[in-house]
Amino acid sequence: MADFTAFGFVKWLHLLSLAMGGGAMMVILVLVGLEESRPDLQGLTSLLWKRTAAWGLRVAVLAGIVLLSMRLRAGDHPFDAKYLHWKLALVLLLLLCSEMSARSLARSKRGLPLLAFMFFLLVTFVSVNHEAFGMVHRHLTTGSALSGAVEQGSDSGN
């Protein structure tokens, strides 16, 4: 029988909300142009960002934090993977841009939502290609310190 796990369920929620947030961002960025030529549509993109893109991201970040804490509680060392450090820094920038985008769209400015979308693409790229970033050399450092001590010992012996 299929073996469903809580981790798998939360990961599905993480990806689903990302699809919702990222998809909404793309549609909104297309609609910005339309909004400029149609005064009756003024305020539409700002409202859409507030209700869809911003919420999709918030739920994704929440689910991400739950995933991370589940791995930590299971005794795993997720921070040994270098990509996670980059990812969390980029997520912070993405969240900042996203939270300010609705107000920016209400003033017909599209710089921040475009920047948010760029950070969104970067975070997904880093997450999917995480293996390329390698690991923090925790054990290697211990190893080299030990070998340093051994070398010192042999030096004093001479």
43: Cβ contacts below 8 Å, ≥ 6 apart: 106
Could you say which of 25, 29, 61, 102 contacts ligand HEM (CB under 6 A)? 61
Paired strand residues for 81: 135
Distance from the first to the final alpha carbon of the chain = 66
**According to the binding rule CB under 6 A, does residue 83 interact with ligand HEM?**
no
Burial of 55 (0-12, 13-18, 19+ CB in 10 A): middle
Hey, how many other C-beta atoms are within 10 angstroms of the C-beta on 109?
A: 13
Binding marks (x or -) toward ligand HEM, 99..128, rule CB under 6 A? ---------------------x--xx--xx
Quote the least distance from Cβ 68 to ligand HEM, whole Å. Answer: 4
Asked if 140 touches ligand HEM (CB under 6 A), the answer is no
54 binds ligand HEM, rule: CB under 6 A: no
Q: Which positions touch ligand HEM (CB under 6 A)?
A: 11, 14, 18, 60-61, 64-65, 67-68, 71, 88, 91, 94, 120, 123-124, 127-128
